[in-house]
Amino acid sequence: MNNRLRNFVVNELLLSSSSSEDEDENLDIRGPLVLRPRMRNFVQDVVDEYSNEEFREHFRMYRGTFNFILNLIENEIATEEDATGRHTCSAKNQLLIAIWRFGTPDSYRSICSRFNVGKATAIRIVRRVTNALLNISNQIITWPTNDERENIIRAFTALGFPGTVGCIDGSYVKISEPKQNPRSYINRKGFAALILQGVCDHQLKFLHATAGEVGSCHDARVLRNSEIWQYMIGMPGNNRFPENSHLVGDKAYPLMPHLMTPYRDNGHLTEAQRHYNFCLSSVRSCIERAFCLLKKRFRCLKFLDVKDIVWGTRYIIACTVLHNICIMQNDNLELRVEDFEENEDDNAVVDMGLHHLRIMGRNKRDDLCNELFLV
């Protein structure tokens, strides 16, 4: 065993910790430089030697996808020597650190030892990369153009549900219990969480994403507080559903002309209504798969160990940006049965008002039900 490999193995054993730690510290206070035992030249000696598959195993994407992202944000995250004369990380190393943080359950202690940086530096790097990703989010997470919408509708029609622009749902991102108003973050499953609401297409790419609502908030209320609601009610200038198109959602959402939901099974559904529910459920599984793929690739979203809710929200959206870029680059992961989370629909009904829209939605659903049954 050569010296480089021996040193790597020893360091792997020393920093194999994934202990919980958050980012609560004053990043503006810089103390004297303290040299600590860390892995030297991990990127040059190890990462740069990875095969494409090995790189993907560790960084959750192929090297080509990584380089594509680096090209998008390199100018924004590049730094010069700081005021104290300390050398700073290259843009490449910064992106490696951030993606490692998003893609693994490693603690900052482990990351610092591996990439030879201090904890405050590592946190600043992750935040800098996060902000850079948020700055390009409006280029990566986009509502479909007319041509794109037609392609999406054709794809969903082939899957069994015509007129569909996308699928909508919410997903819990488990977090550390915040110090302020902790009970409001406890969801119906009993843990503290932030809610990510997403709309995806047939390729599992997010067309819209919003995060930050507390775990106790109902899916319908999250919708009402989001930009998507303005699309739904047809505010002037927000004609995102031309030609009577719509999203599909589960029974937690209100039935509207641009949001198709299942019939509630009261034990007396007709055969046509059961068939409609089956078709809708088959298509709606796209958003469940999108969330599963997102959390499989960026495992920090299985438990986001931060107490700063603002930064927690930013990390979630940054991961959705990376998720979309991976799909755009045809960099896909295989989903297995064990990757899927238990998903229980919220049976509570929230009155969202707008009675006329409910009537219009009910009439449209009945027409669509009959159309599907006759096919």
Same domain, 189 and 245: yes
Same domain, 261 and 178: yes
Same domain, 143 and 259: yes
- Residue ranges of the chain with per-residue pLDDT less than 70: 1-39, 80-87, 235-238, 337-338, 342-353
Same domain, 93 and 225: no
pLDDT at 340: 73
Give the residue from 274, 238, 327, 235 showing the smallest Cα distance to 264: 274
Give the residue from 77, 64, 62, 10 showing the smallest Cα distance to 37: 10
Give the residue from 237, 242, 227, 231 showing the smallest Cα distance to 153: 242
pLDDT at 6: 40
pLDDT at 364: 96
Of 135, 152, 173, which marks where a domain is finished?
A: 135
Helices of type H across the chain = 3-14, 42-45, 52-59, 63-77, 91-103, 108-115, 119-135, 137-140, 146-159, 219-224, 227-232, 271-297, 309-328, 355-374
Tokens 């919980």 sit at which residue? 20
Same domain, 86 and 190: no
pLDDT at 92: 96
Same domain, 355 and 306: yes
Same domain, 121 and 157: no
pLDDT at 12: 42
Same domain, 163 and 112: no
Same domain, 199 and 342: yes
Q: How far apart are CA 19 and CA 183, in angstroms?
A: 25
pLDDT at 271: 96
Quote the number of domains for the chain: 2
pTM above 0.75, yes or no: yes
85: left (phi over 0), alpha (psi -120 to 50) or beta: left
pLDDT at 273: 96
Q: How far apart are CA 189 and CA 332, in angstroms?
A: 30
Q: State the residue range of the domain holding 150.
A: 137-374
- Rounded (5°) CA angle 144-230-262: 80
pLDDT at 262: 97
Same domain, 143 and 283: yes
